[in-house]
Amino acid sequence: MSEHEPNSHYWNLLIHKVELRDAGVYECQVSSKLRHLRHHILLEVHEKEEVSTPMPRPSIFISGSNVVDKDDRIYLICNATGQEHPPDDIDWFIEGNKLTTSADEKVFIRKFVSLTDKTIVSILEIKDAQLEDSGLYTCRTSNLQVKSMHVAVLNADTYNVKRGTHKGHPGGATSFFSAPRPPGGVPRWLLYALFVVCVRWIESCMILQ
């Protein structure tokens, strides 16, 4: 197919849907009363190179907090990617024991699949975490991709008391001035002060004699 632009001296040859057989030498001729011109051009046609997208490598990882307070929630996310398609499923385990969504939904598992990204995502949520919920959590795909994370549940309501200490006196040290009052309600430091005054008064009296 030839194409001519109006009011111009250009004539273009258009070939739609080029094939390998269209390769070869093409000749352009221009004739007039004065002369005859011709020009040859070589057209090369090559196979279309297909750009292949590298296939993703299978991968799996867990995200979430590995330390939670008692009565808070444990919230873990397992993300697994397949090579040609998403893994069929993901299972959760704690210390080797399989977890499933419980009737009271204390343990709740939900999953999402992306065919475009070849990914499956599983979310594990445990409400009102207790000390016995501490342990090694593992997610495993149907094609045996495995990832683990240790979660510790802390009892934030308790505190440690140092052994050998007296309540109200850090370190258990007791001094003369911090000792409890003797019967009668007079503190010992006052008795000691009166004793010193009396001794000094007696000494001064003896000197005067």
Same domain, 14 and 87: no
Percent of the chain scoring above 90 in pLDDT: 37
65 and 135 together in one domain: yes
Q: Are residues 39 and 63 in the same domain?
A: no
Is the pTM above the cut of 0.85? Answer: no
CATH of the domain at 114: 2.60.40.10
pLDDT(180) > 50: yes
Of all residues in the chain, what percent are helix, strand and coil, respectively (each to 5)?
A: 15, 40, 45
Q: Clarify whether residues 93 and 127 are in a common domain.
A: yes
CA quadruple 179, 180, 181, 187: dihedral sign? positive
How many domains, the chain?
Answer: 2
The winner for highest mean pLDDT among 117-126, 150-159, 195-204 is: 117-126
* 182 found inside a domain: no
On whether both 139 and 72 belong to a single domain, the answer is yes
pLDDT in tens, 137-153: 999 999 889 999 999 99
Do 120 and 113 contact (CB within 8 A), yes or no? Answer: yes
CA-based nearest residue to 135, from 69, 78, 66: 66
Of 130, 96, 90, the C-alpha closest to 110 is 90
> Count of alpha carbons within 13 Å of 165, Cβ hemisphere only?
9
Give the 3-state secondary structure of residue 70: coil
Residue-wise pLDDT for 93-109, tens only, equals 999 999 999 888 899 99
- Let me know whether 150 and 74 are in one domain: yes
Query: Residues 34, 71: one domain?
Result: no
Same domain, 86 and 144: yes
Radius of gyration of the chain (CA): 46
In a domain, 71, yes or no: yes
Least confident stretch, 70-74, 108-112, 161-165: 161-165
| CA pair distance 76, 102, nearest whole angstrom | 16
Return the amino acid letter for 149: M
Question: According to the model, what pLDDT value does residue 22 have?
Answer: 81
Residue 103 in domain? yes
| Same domain as 38, residue 73 | no
Query: Which of residues 121, 154, 187 is at a domain's end?
Result: 154
Residue 163 lies in a domain: no
Domain that holds residue 8: 2-43
The yes-or-no verdict on residue 78 having pLDDT over 80 is yes
Question: Could you tell me the pLDDT band of residue 169, with boundaries at 50, 70 and 90?
Answer: very low
Residues 141 and 103 placed together within one structural domain of the fold: yes
Helix residue ranges per DSSP H, 100-183? none
Same domain as 64, residue 110: yes
Identify whether 130 is part of a domain. yes
Within-domain flag for 170: no
* Nearest CA-CA partner of 45 in 28, 21, 14: 21
Shared-domain flag, residues 39 and 78 = no
CA distance 102 to 4: 76
**Considering the domain boundaries, does residue 9 fall inside one?**
yes
- For residue 201, is it within any domain? no
